[in-house]
Structures are given as structure tokens and as C-alpha cells.
């Protein structure tokens, strides 16, 4: 019973994860060979300018991901099994519907705030930087992280959401499968599939969540960030300078950081 309820679902999820990761790895290799990276990858130009896909780093990423699954994901799944296995009641369809809504909301709430916590400078430098070492992500890098981060941000929000909404343990496997597919697509790097999370790796301080619900609430979406950057550039004070061009004196208006410092000092 224990093995059937813990180890077998874990192995099926491993097969799901690596099957999809393998498909994306093949696609990455295929488009790289055909020179189609800039067409299909959201950060294609950056990848090309960086020398293409780093396959040595790709293999190391896969190995670290595998270790995280074995030594972090599985033990935590066993822990939550003992918390949830006694819930044997079969819920009605209306309850299942409410549980699905609850799963999405609770997981989003926990992941967003745990992820934001990892962007505190010390934790970012010493923990989260490992995950962000890929500016242009690939699918198997979804779980490439420090073990503490993998536990806090990747595993606990998913299982805790199931526990808090009273999810039947047998249904947890389907919920984890959904979360697995979602994170693989988000880290694939392809235009249609991973726009929001790819922007997080590009700009670092945007799109902390998965559904962007709390990104909207806190104003941390990509468009919020770009709007703020545009406002900053627009609000830099203007400075008038006179430049000699041939025998004529011309007046030019420039955005001046010196003018900004002088304005503040006054």
C-alpha cells in the first residue's frame, strides 16, 4: 500500500517530467541545427549572441534536476502522504470543482510569496542565483535549483495546496502532473508557451507567479515594469546646451543625469 501510494506515483511523475523534457531537448537540438532559434525561442537573439545553446550546461542541469527529484521531491511527497492519506472520502463533483479553484489559488499565493522571498538580495545571491544562471531557460531547467529553493518554491506550494483544500491523496497525482506540465511549458523558452516566465528570467524582477494573479495585484507584471522604466526615463530633467556646428551655434535639448543631480541638490 505504501509503495503503491507514494513510490509508484512518484515514478510516473518522473516519467512524465523526463518524457516532456526529452521532447523539448530534441526540439532545442533540432532548431539549433536548422538555425531557427531566433524564430521560435523568445530570447533567441540572446542565445545566438551567447554562442548558442550550452549543451554541457544542459547536461549538468538535467543531472542536478534529477538529484532534486530523488532527494527532495520524493521525501516531501512521503511526508505529505502521512498527512493526507486518511482522507478517504470521495467528494462530489461540486466539491471537486471548488477544490480545483482552491488548488490554483493557494498554490499561486504560496509560490508567488516564496518566490518573492527568494529575491531578497542575500537569498538571491546564495540560493536563487543557481536557478537564474539560465537567463534563457530550457524545459529540464524547471527544477534546476538549490535544494532549499526546490523544497520551498517548487514542492511545498503544490503539496500544501492539496493538503489545505482537503484533496484526496489519490487525486494528488493528477494535481502534481498538472503542475509538472505547467512548469515545463513555462521554462521551455518557446514564444507561445513561456512568455511570462521567460520575461522573469530576462528582467529578473517581474512575473513572480504562475497565473500572474498576484503579479497583477502587486504590480509586478512585465508591462508594469516597462511602464515604470519608461516613466523614469521620461522624468529625467532636460538640459539645454549650445553646440558649435561649423560657424553656427545650435541649441540642443538633452536628458541629463547631471541636471537630475543638480535638481535634487537644489
Residue 205 has pLDDT above 70, yes or no: yes
Task: Kindly report the number of other CB atoms within 10 A of residue 70's CB atom.
Answer: 12
CB 207 within 8 A of CB 199: yes
Residues 249-254, mean pLDDT to the nearest whole number = 59
Provide the whole-model pTM: 0.85
Residue 247 has pLDDT above 90, yes or no: no
Q: What is the mean pLDDT of the chain?
A: 89
- Domain assignments of the chain as residue spans, ordered by start: 2-227, 236-265
E strand map for the chain: 238-245, 248-255
d(CA 186, CA 138): 9
Task: Kindly report the number of other CB atoms within 10 A of residue 121's CB atom.
Answer: 7
d(CA 122, CA 128): 9
| DSSP H/E element including 223 | helix 222-234
pLDDT tens digits, one per residue of 112-138: 999 999 999 999 999 999 999 989 999
d(CA 15, CA 17): 6
- According to the model, what pLDDT value does residue 60 have? 96
- According to the model, what pLDDT value does residue 2 have? 82
pLDDT tens digits, one per residue of 84-107: 988 777 889 999 999 999 999 999
d(CA 213, CA 187): 19
Amino acid at each position: 500500500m505504501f509503495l503503491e501510494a507514494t513510490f509508484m506515483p512518484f515514478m510516473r511523475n518522473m516519467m512524465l517530467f523526463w518524457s516532456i523534457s526529452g521532447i523539448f531537448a530534441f526540439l532545442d537540438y533540432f532548431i539549433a541545427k536548422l538555425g531557427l532559434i531566433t524564430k521560435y525561442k523568445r530570447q533567441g537573439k540572446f542565445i545566438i549572441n551567447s554562442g548558442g545553446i550550452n549543451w554541457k550546461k544542459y547536461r549538468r542541469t538535467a543531472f542536478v534536476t534529477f538529484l532534486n527529484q530523488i532527494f527532495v521531491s520524493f521525501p516531501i511527497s512521503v511526508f505529505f502522504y502521512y498527512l493526507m492519506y486518511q482522507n478517504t472520502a470521495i467528494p462530489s463533483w461540486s466539491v471537486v470543482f471548488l477544490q480545483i479553484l482552491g488548488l490554483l489559488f493557494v498554490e499561486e499565493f504560496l509560490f508567488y510569496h516564496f518566490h518573492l522571498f527568494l529575491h531578497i538580495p542575500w537569498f538571491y545571491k546564495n540560493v536563487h542565483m543557481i536557478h537564474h544562471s539560465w537567463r534563457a531557460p530550457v524545459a529540464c531547467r524547471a527544477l534546476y535549483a538549490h535544494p532549499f529553493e526546490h523544497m520551498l518554491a517548487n514542492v511545498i506550494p503544490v503539496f500544501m495546496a492539496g493538503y489545505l483544500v482537503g484533496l484526496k491523496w489519490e487525486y494528488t497525482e493528477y494535481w502534481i502532473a498538472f503542475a509538472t506540465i505547467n512548469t515545463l511549458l513555462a521554462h521551455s523558452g518557446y514564444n507561445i508557451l513561456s512568455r511570462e516566465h521567460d520575461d522573469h528570467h530576462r528582467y529578473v524582477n517581474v512575473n513572480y507567479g504562475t497565473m500572474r494573479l498576484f503579479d497583477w495585484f502587486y504590480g509586478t507584471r512585465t508591462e508594469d515594469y516597462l511602464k515604470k522604466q519608461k516613466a523614469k526615463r521620461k522624468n529625467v530633467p532636460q538640459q539645454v546646451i549650445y553646440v558649435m556646428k561649423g560657424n553656427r551655434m545650435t541649441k540642443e535639448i538633452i536628458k541629463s543625469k547631471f541636471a537630475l543631480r543638480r535638481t535634487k541638490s537644489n
